[in-house]
Structure 1
Amino acid sequence: MQVTGDTKGAVFGGLLSAPLMPTPKKKYQGTSETFVFTDVSGQPELYHPTGANRYFVLCTNDALALGGGGHFALHLDNDLLTGSSGSCATFGNMCLAHSEDFIVKNVELWGFAHSSRYVPRAASFKEPTEAPGVCRW
């Protein structure tokens, strides 16, 4: 998941359905489970794929972008300090930020992984002994 904010108070971003894999060439990734969101209007708005194309996520060594076909729904430069947003065919969205070009206030990138990939096969689950909600493998 990517969450971004501009200096005028908007919060926007997208849920990516696959891990980011930076490539030197422009190659779109992701699936139709990807979507973008914004609260620029004061109400949360979700934009799901329209089916117009498969331009879900573009992750190069220079930038990160969601959507395509006209403009990117969200584009962050490689320094993560500036970005742009516009209407795109992939999600049928309007500009996600207060203006098409914006200064990034903050960026959060969250990744989720299936825990079984990182647990040795001989490990076993133990009940928490310290605090409630803490599990040890």
Structure 2
Amino acid sequence: MKSLKKKRRVQVIVVAAVALTVATGMIGYAMRDGINFFRAPSQIMAEPPAPGEVFRIGGLVEEGSIVRGEGETIRFVVTDGGASVPVTFSGVLPDLFAENQGMVGTGSYVNGTFEATEILAKHDETYMPAEVVDALKEQGVYKEPSGS
């Protein structure tokens, strides 16, 4: 009688372990599209991402680089002080999007141009996304905000 209980207990433990493994695998599989890695322009130029890979780019919008094209297409250049990457975006830009301001975009790198599907801009005089600040500090071009 004792051995039957022991067998049943072992079976329950094995089934629970298998179910936990399958659940973990399914969660990882579902999240693979939701994870976007951040890259600075210097990193993109040093190691171009795979075609179709969705990631985030961040830096400062270069002065004089914003060109509004036909329709809603906007072209501009993002820099971290070490390298620059041309960006295209079709859609409505955030109100605070401007030259010499921090931005983060989500999209993919196609034929030497970052094609953004989403653009985020700073929301007040002192805010800049932490990823952008870190990338600018690495390049040695980050300046502490004044007037705080």
Q: Which has the higher contact order (CA 8 A, sep 6+)?
A: 1
State TM-score, norm by structure 2. Answer: 0.28
Q: Which has the higher helix share?
A: 2
State TM-score, norm by structure 1. Answer: 0.30
